[in-house]
Amino acid sequence: MRNLRTVRAWVLDHRSLSALIAALALVLVAVGLRLMTPHTADDHHAVASPAATSSGSATGAGPADTAEPTAVPVVPVSATADADVFARSVAYALFGWDTTSTDLPALTEQLLVVADPTGEETPGLLSDLRAYLPSPKAWTHLGRYQTRQWLEVTDIVEPAAWREALAQAPDGAVAEGTTARTVTGIRHRAGTWDGEPVAASSRVQFTVFLVCGPASDRCHLLRLSTPDAALH
């Protein structure tokens, strides 16, 4: 059986939907929900200005999607049994931060408190988060420009590739209530550059793997796909 790294490399070389489904089925059989190991290169977050591209977090309730917030507070992820609502809340918590008011460790903590209650997926989730949140070095750099970031969610769907993978997985390979949601949105970033306000936006898409019941009355976050390598 191929290990997860081999499967992920295979997916990158074979980008058709059928190939992705086949790879997902292999992953489900071999390693359960350890679906994707994200890139952790620091240059994904190191930017020359607030207008450049990077990754970060957002708020549980979320700022107004289309308005530029004056501050982006850290808000807990919603306690809910609704997979769509939970995935949206995770998305806000993942992509909304403010270097002028947010504590970087708090961004990770707000997502860990809703992580897999068994702890089995937590090490993998920590690795996933490093691909989305700025490193301490990048955070210090972004802070020089009073950078803040927030997300405008435009779509949340259960990906067809996930349903196909579940259909091919053996009985018992995936815990009951486990599901996936692919989130599409616009990441906004604003700050200052040479004393002048600057802003930029870019499209993002990623997949949230979660479990909702039956053992719990609320959803829990299991893993995240590699940034911009969402399931479709």
pLDDT at 24: 52
pLDDT at residue 134, rounded to an integer: 96
pLDDT in tens, 92-132: 999 999 999 988 999 999 999 999 989 999 999 999 999 99
Amino acid present at 87: A
| Series of mean pLDDT values for 10-residue runs along the chain (232 residues) | 35 38 43 36 41 39 56 85 97 95 92 93 95 96 96 97 90 90 97 95 97 90 93 92
Cα–Cα distance, 33 to 101 (Å, whole number)? 34
The Cα–Cα gap between 53 and 31 comes to: 32
Tell me what pLDDT residue 67 has: 63
pTM of the model as a whole: 0.74
Give pLDDT, residue 35. 36
Question: 34, 116 in Cβ contact below 8 A?
Answer: no
Which DSSP string corresponds to 163-189? HHHHHHSPTTSS-TTEEEEEEEEEEEE
Does the domain at 42-224 match CATH 2.60.40? Answer given as no
**Domain residue extents for the chain:** 42-224
Phi, psi of 208 (to 5 degrees): -100, 125
Bridge partners for 97 per DSSP: 149
Query: For position 29, what pLDDT does the model report?
Result: 35
Q: Tell me, what's the pLDDT at 74? A: 79
Q: Which two tokens stand for residue 134?
A: 């700025």
